[in-house]
Chains A and B, each alone.
Chain A
Amino acid sequence: MTSAPDWYVDGDSWLHSADARVKLAMVACGLAFFLTVQNAALELVGLLILLATYRSAGLPRSSVTGVLRVLLPVSLFMAVLRGVLAPQGDVLVAWGWLRLTDGGLAAGAALGLRLLAAGLLVFLWLHTTRPSAMIQSLVRLGLPYSWGLTLALAMRYIPLLQRSFESILDAQQARGLLLESTVGLSRVRALMPVFVAMVISGFRSSQQVALALEARGLGASGVTRSDWHPLRFRRVDAVYLVALLGATAAWLALRFGAGIGTSPLGWW
């Protein structure tokens, strides 16, 4: 018996019970903020609100650190790259032709934080929304059911692919595949027997899944697919939605109207 490879983390917080469409809107509005804000300080505030939301949804610390572990290296790398390649403002340190400026640093920080925030936002959604509700919310927006199902299946199979990688790695190493002394590109080449076996067995599995889907009536003629637990938009969901859209509208007005949050340095 193995642990479940799901992104959904069960719970009964306010966020878990919120309608899936509201959570979709949360992602959209959150992205609207993080992608338009350029001021690092404001971004930090946004991030803190995000982390507070994780907390109030009852999600364990490991869910945050899990995302950070993956995104932090990338964010850091992007931040440094941005800071060095697009200098702005006053020079802090110069080294040859490389100049580290305070403006560039701040812009880099803003970019890095943006990536982190986007990742955390998406995972907040994944952690608190059941795949079946997720599909329903997308279908209500007009996405065909099969697309929604494909998305949910992909999410289900990514962690499984990880496991199959480990099993296949074991099996090939047991046939003498040597990995210990390889790094970088040569490691990728050494891993080819693993990747190829993964693709082949992945393909085979996907064929079986496709058969299983039809054998369980998917695509039955003349029938509209029903939902065992249809989404219910409650009054409190309307409140959330209004609050979200209102806050986002206000932000966009400030941002594009008054230029708030456009300067990398300073308070906003």
Chain B
Amino acid sequence: MPSIDIRDFHYAYPPLGQAEPHWVLRGVDLSVEAGSCVGVMGATGVGKSTLCQAIGGIVPQLTGGIVRGQVRVLGREARSTPVPDLAQQVGMVFQDSESQLFNLTVEEEVAFGPENIGLPPEEIESRVAWALTTVGLIDSRERSPYQLSGGEKQRLAIAATLSMSPKVLVLDEPTSHLDPRGKREIQSLVATMVRDSGRTILVVEQDADWLAELADRIVVLADGHVVLDGPPDVVLGDPDELLALGVGPPQLSELASALNRDLGTHFAFTRLDQAEGLLKEDLGGDR
């Protein structure tokens, strides 16, 4: 059974007055197996955040609006399972970490979720320690969240959902307001989480360079549904197609295209290791 099973999903914002409903998502199909890391890309406004929130049941339960089709997460129907109940299985980290952090200290922030689900103090203690160690903030446990850097705040937001041990983790544009150091921190954290557990991870991102190194599958949304779906090498390999869909291609795939055009080569790469290997081979010449 897939972890996330979305079929023919439609969503329209609550219509204002007599106006026609504006359908943002028009027939999204997406099936994600447990343990995979899927990247979701698309132009602004295409519905990526809406899709994330639908997986957590927030759409439509807390946002209103009209839905059609099915969103099942770990066998449960997201639109009818109460959000706090689903939250124990689906961890959501929103774009703006600032408004998700409101406790006095880092460790209290991470303990908030487990407290909500009624875990005993010893269990909470071990989960807090584990989550903070996983994200690398264990030494900052008594600091105020407001004293943390952007990358640290984002890591804290992730720890605060990890402590609930969700089987599915949804990250909505985690690096969009981070500097290069912050982006690197989140990248290595996500890579660790992908490697070490059977957790299913869904990441929405604009930065294709960053995402190409992490995801084993990329999904591109346009016109309200999934238009591209496959491994990064395939999906991110055609820069012109991506640009037409409003998505910025990885710089390396733009490079591959440029080299192919001007040097007559037949490169296909989106990741650094890949590119290094193929170019070295090309330079090496004959054997």
Contact = CB atoms under 8 A, between A and B. Distances in A.
A and B touch in the complex (CB under 8 A): yes
Interface of A: 1-6, 8, 130-132, 153, 156-157, 205, 208-212, 214-221, 223-230
Contacts, number: 108
A220 B108 contact: no
B87 A214 contact: yes
B73 to A, nearest CB: 13
Interface string B97-116: 00110111000100111111
A6 B144 contact: yes
A211 B84 CA distance: 10
B116 A217 contact: yes
Contacts of A218: 84, 116
Nearest to B108: A132
B146 A217 contact: no
A226 B118 contact: yes
A219 B81 CA distance: 13
A217 B88 contact: yes
B121 A227 contact: yes
Contact of A228 (B84, B100, B102, B125): B125
B201 interface: no
Contact of B146 (A5, A157, A227): A5
A216 B164 contact: yes
A225 B58 CA distance: 21
A2 B58 contact: no
Interface of B: 53, 56, 58, 62, 82-85, 87-88, 91-92, 94, 96, 99-100, 102-104, 108, 111-121, 124-125, 128, 144, 146-149, 160-161, 164
Given A223-B118, A228-B125, A215 B147 contact: no
Given A4-B146, A5-B146, A220 B102 contact: no
A221 B57 CA distance: 15
Given A216-B164, A223-B117, A6 B82 contact: no
Contacts of A215: 56, 58, 83, 87, 91-92, 94, 161
B124 A8 contact: no
A220 B116 contact: yes
A23 B118 CA distance: 26
B121 A214 contact: no
Contacts of A224: 118
B118 A225 contact: yes
Most B CB atoms within 10 A — which of A5, A210, A217? A217
A216 B94 contact: no
Nearest to B125: A228
Nearest to A208: B99
Contact of B94 (A3, A131, A212, A217): A212
